Amino acid sequence: MAIGYIMAGQKRKDLLTFTARERLIHRQKQVAKVRANNDHKVRTKTAAWLNNVDDMITILDHLPEDQLNDSITDDDIFSILKLVERLLRVKRFSPVAVYSEDHWRGLEGEVNDLDIWRAYNVYRHTDNLVRAHLSRRHPFGNFDLLLGMDADLSFRGRLQPDEIKTLSRIRNAIRAYSEKEAARLEDVWLELEAMSRDEMEE
């Protein structure tokens, strides 16, 4: 689902025109009438796009996979996962935490039946994803912690050999397929290391 940037006047397959995209990104700089008109167009296109999701599911369910494989990239899937995260945030889907039989809490205090129904569906779909495409024994849960320990001068020496191998293997895989994510992780690592140095020098 890569979105290309092109000059105004060029033909494009993207959902938004060049002008609509620029006005959306810089919407606070637009005069009220232009902003309101563009917002309306974007909302209309968003609703129209979402109304076609069921057709996409039908296509994926019935068209042979060998006819679809070349049309779908890994980045398409990652973008859709990111899209779902944004939609959940926009609709304010709340986590549900149970502290006792009568004490169920979410983002805004006590949860209601809608919060529970939404969280149940999120759980059902994410559980399916984990079972089919990640596994319960995945190595990523402690990745951020291991990265932080590796950057922290006071903890670096405490990493066990198997933890070092796990950290190295994941970082190498990220470097092999995403320069952007590798650069982001490197920036995080350098920032944490700098903080560690400052703390040791105090």
> By the 8 A CB rule, do 8 and 18 touch?
yes
Tens-digit pLDDT profile for the chain (202 aa)? Answer: 444 433 444 444 688 999 999 999 999 999 999 999 999 999 999 999 999 999 999 999 999 999 999 899 999 999 999 999 999 999 999 999 999 888 999 988 899 999 999 999 999 999 999 889 988 889 998 899 999 999 998 888 899 999 999 999 999 999 999 999 999 999 999 998 898 888 877 6
Report which of 19, 22, 24, 18 is spatially closest to residue 43, judged by C-alpha positions.
24
Write the CA distances from 110 to 36, 92, 107, 126, 135, integer angstroms. Answer: 36, 14, 8, 23, 32
Sheet holding 97-100, edge to edge: 97-100, 103-106, 109-110
